[in-house]
A and B are shown apart, each in its own frame.
Chain A
Amino acid sequence: MVTPALLLFAPLAACAAIVGITRRSRPLSAGLAIGGMAVSLLCTVRLFLEFLNGHAHELQYSIPWITLPGLTLEFGFLINEAALLMSGVVTGVGLLIFIYSVGYMAEEEHRSRYFAYLSGFAFSMLGIVLANNLVTLFIFWELVGACSYLLIGYWYQKPSAAAAGKKAFLVNRIADFGFLLGILLLWSYSAGHGEAGTVNLLALQERLAHWAAAGQLDPTILGWIGVLLFCGVVGKSAQFPLHVWLPDAMEGPTPVSALIHAATMVAAGVYLLARIFFIVSAVPSTMELIAAIGGFTAIFAASLALVEPDIKRILAFSTLSQLGYMVMAMGLGAPVAAMFHLTTHAFFKALLFLGAGSVIHAVHGNDIWKMGGLLKKMPLTGWTFAVGTLALCGIFPFSGFFSKDEILLAAMEHNRFLWVIGTITAGMTAFYMGRLFFVAFLRPAASDSAQHAHESPAVMTGPLVVLALLSAAAGFFGIPAFLQGAHHAEHHGINWGVAGLSTAVAFAGLGLAGLIYLKGWRPAAGLLKKLESPGRWLSRKFFVDEIYGWINWNLQQGLARFLALFERWVIIGFMVNGTAKLTQLAGRAVRRLQTGQLQSYALSILVGLTLILLWGWRP
Chain B
Amino acid sequence: MIHPALFYSFSALTLLGALGAVAARHPMRAVLSLTVSLFGLSGLFVGLGAHFVAVIQILLYAGAILILFLFVVMLVESPETERMNIRNIWVKLLGIGFGAVLLRILWRVIGAGGEPPIAPHAVEGTVEAVGRELLTTYALPFEAASILLLVGIVGAIVLAKRKVT
Interface residues of A (CB under 8 A from B): 595, 597, 599-600, 602-603, 606-607, 609-610, 613-614, 619
Contacts and interface: CB of A to CB of B under 8 A. Distances in A.
A600 B87 contact: yes
Nearest to A598: B91
B65 interface: no
A609 B98 CA distance: 9
Contacts, number: 32
Interface residues on B, range: 10 to 19
A295 to B, nearest CB: 90
Interface stretch (B10-18, B101-109, B128-136): B101-109
Contact of B98 (A595, A597, A610): A610
Interface of B: 87-88, 91, 94-95, 98-99, 101-102, 105, 108-109, 112
Given A606-B95, A613-B105, A614-B101, 14 more contacts: A597-B87, A597-B91, A599-B91, A599-B95, A600-B87, A602-B95, A603-B91, A603-B95, A606-B98, A610-B101, A610-B102, A610-B105, A619-B105, A619-B112
A606 B99 contact: yes
Nearest to B103: A610
A610 B103 CA distance: 9
Contact of B102 (A597, A600, A606): A606
Nearest to B112: A619
Chain B binding surface, main DSSP class = helix
A613 B102 contact: yes
Nearest to A617: B105
B102 A609 contact: yes
Given A597-B87, A619-B108, A619-B109, A603 B101 contact: no
Among A602, A607, A614, residue most surrounded by chain B Cβ atoms (within 10 Å): A607
Given A613-B105, A619-B108, A619-B109, A600 B91 contact: yes
Contacts of A597: 87, 91
Contacts of B109: 619
Contacts of A600: 87, 91
A170 B155 CA distance: 84
B23 to A, nearest CB: 16
Nearest to A601: B91
Nearest to A606: B98
Contacts of B98: 603, 606-607, 610
Nearest to A613: B105
A610 B95 CA distance: 11
Contacts of A595: 87
A524 B56 CA distance: 137
Contacts of B87: 595, 597, 600
Nearest to B93: A603
